[in-house]
């Protein structure tokens, strides 16, 4: 009888151990702009993260582990971004952080994570410099403007045959300033003369003075580095001035909100993109179908956030199913040709993402791949 009781006790203990192991939770912090100037991107990012976490947990890809997303609003603010990162690290004890939405916020918040040795996956920070340079715990899924703009410009020039160009950009934001640097460099390297450059501030809503000055130079092509809200205002006001010059935007244009707010003025606008929505890749089509089943028509920001979770899950798998901060960080370097909605994903030695880019054009009120 004693032996039976001992066996029973051992069996119960073993069962409890298995249950405890099965209940082990790996927390992922996600800081997105759910309010503020970049709120048009944050909602899509939140939806992408939630879908990926739910799918991974349901699939059993990480035996013995459950992912949990702790999502907070960075409010498109450096101060709020820092505070959110501190809560993720010290209160929530997350194993990794996804976000924040904008590069400007990232330059302030990422050093907090680097100092605490907490890995960060940037899913929408496209400023060419100053993100992964922060330290070895900072990794990036999003392609930089430097990875996307040159090829997009080449495709646009082949299609439109423009001879010269002008640039309009936001001069008080890390992302828009970085985008301008790449646009200027890309035009110069392509041998396209730049007739004039104009700037605006993030809070500006009237761009008529800048557009009128640019129009007077009669450029064949206009490149704009702006966030979605300003982008819509710029193209709308340009068309109201009777200026029908071809326009190419940076990554800030990559949102359905831009098309919605600009309306007919958005037609024909070009933008380089890190996500080819029209790709027939099964992973991409499954992602789109799953998002739509939840009532969400996904954009690039949703696809990148979703991919960020896939990358973290794969890093955990590459580390033998261990989900500590260092396990996740060390696993990133082993992520290779991971199937994602963005295509086969790997990290470059610089810890930047590596996958194919594409060029979109607004046609019939939707983004389509430029043919």
| Distance of alpha carbon 216 from alpha carbon 338, whole angstroms | 49
b/e 92-115 (16+ beta carbons within 10 angstroms → b):
bebbbbbbbbbbbbbbbbbebbbe
**Two tokens, residue 32:** 């997105």
Give me the residue spans of the domains in the chain.
Answer: 24-143+280-356, 146-273
What does the DSSP 8-state code read for residue 89? I
> Mean pLDDT in each 10-residue stretch from start to end of the chain (371 residues)?
45 43 82 95 97 97 97 97 98 98 96 98 92 97 93 93 97 92 96 98 95 98 95 98 96 91 96 90 97 96 98 98 97 98 96 92 93 78
The reported pLDDT for the residue numbered 13 is: 44
Check if 24-143+280-356 and 146-273 are the same fold: yes
CA distance 264 to 69: 38
Is residue 323 within 8 Å of 332, Cβ to Cβ?
no
Answer for the pair 217, 166: CB distance below 8 angstroms, yes or no. yes
**Strands 138-140 and 120-122: what pairing?**
parallel
DSSP alpha helices (H): ranges in the chain? Answer: 2-22, 39-59, 78-86, 103-115, 145-160, 174-189, 208-216, 228-240, 256-262, 282-293, 300-318, 325-332
Place of tokens 């007919």: 264
Q: What is the pLDDT at residue 23?
A: 53
**Of 122, 25, 26, 139, nearest to 74 (Cα)?**
122
* Fold of the CATH domain 146-273: Rossmann fold (3.40.50)
Q: Which two tokens stand for residue 335?
A: 């992520």
**pLDDT value, residue 19:** 42
Angle at 354 between CA 350 and CA 356, to 5 degrees: 155
Cβ proximity of 358 and 276 under 8 Å: yes
Distance of CA 88 to the CA centre of its chain: 20
Q: 3-state DSSP call for residue 205?
A: coil
Q: Which CATH number fits domain 24-143+280-356: 1.10.357.10, 3.40.50.2300, 3.20.20.70, 1.10.645.10?
A: 3.40.50.2300
Angle at which helices 228-240 and 39-59 pack, to 10 degrees? 130
Neighbours of 86 (CB within 10 A): 14
- Contact yes or no for 75/105 (Cβ under 8 A): no
Q: What is the Cα–Cα distance from 280 to 261, expressed in whole angstroms? A: 29
């Amino acid at each position: 009888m004693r032996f039976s009781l001992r066996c029973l006790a051992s069996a119960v203990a073993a069962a409890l151990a298995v249950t405890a192991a099965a209940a082990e939770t790996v927390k992922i912090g996600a800081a997105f702009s759910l309010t503020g100037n970049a709120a048009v991107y944050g909602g899509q990012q939140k939806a992408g993260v939630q879908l990926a976490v739910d799918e991974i947990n349901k699939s059993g890809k990480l035996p013995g582990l459950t992912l949990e997303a702790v999502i907070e609003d960075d409010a498109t603010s450096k101060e709020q971004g820092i505070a959110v990162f501190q809560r993720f690290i010290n209160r929530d004890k997350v194993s990794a952080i996804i976000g924040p939405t904008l590069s400007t916020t990232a330059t302030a918040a990422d050093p907090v994570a680097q100092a605490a040795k907490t890995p960060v996956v940037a899913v929408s920070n496209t400023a060419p410099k100053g993100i992964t340079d922060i330290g070895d715990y900072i990794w990036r899924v999003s392609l930089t403007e430097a990875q996307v703009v040159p090829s997009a410009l080449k495709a646009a020039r082949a299609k439109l045959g423009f001879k010269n160009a002008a640039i309009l950009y936001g001069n008080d934001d890390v992302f828009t300033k970085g985008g301008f640097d790449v646009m200027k460099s890309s035009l110069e390297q392509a041998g396209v003369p730049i007739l004039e450059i104009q700037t605006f501030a993030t809070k500006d809503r009237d761009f008529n003075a800048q557009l009128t000055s640019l129009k007077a130079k009669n450029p064949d092509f206009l490149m704009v580095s702006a966030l979605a809200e300003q982008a819509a205002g710029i193209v709308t006001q340009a068309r109201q001035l009777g200026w029908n010059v071809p326009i190419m935007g940076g990554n800030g244009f990559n949102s359905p909100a831009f098309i919605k707010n600009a309306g007919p003025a958005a037609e024909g606008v070009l933008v380089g993109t890190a996500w080819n929505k029209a790709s027939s890749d099964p992973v991409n089509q499954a992602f789109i179908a799953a998002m739509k089943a939840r009532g969400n028509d996904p954009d690039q920001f949703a696809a990148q956030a979703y991919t960020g979770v896939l990358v973290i899950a794969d890093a955990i798998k590459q580390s033998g199913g261990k989900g500590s901060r260092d396990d996740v960080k060390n696993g990133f370097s082993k992520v290779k040709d991971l199937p994602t909605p963005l295509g086969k994903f790997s990290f470059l030695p610089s810890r930047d993402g590596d996958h194919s880019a594409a060029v979109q054009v607004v046609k019939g009120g939707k983004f389509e791949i430029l043919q």
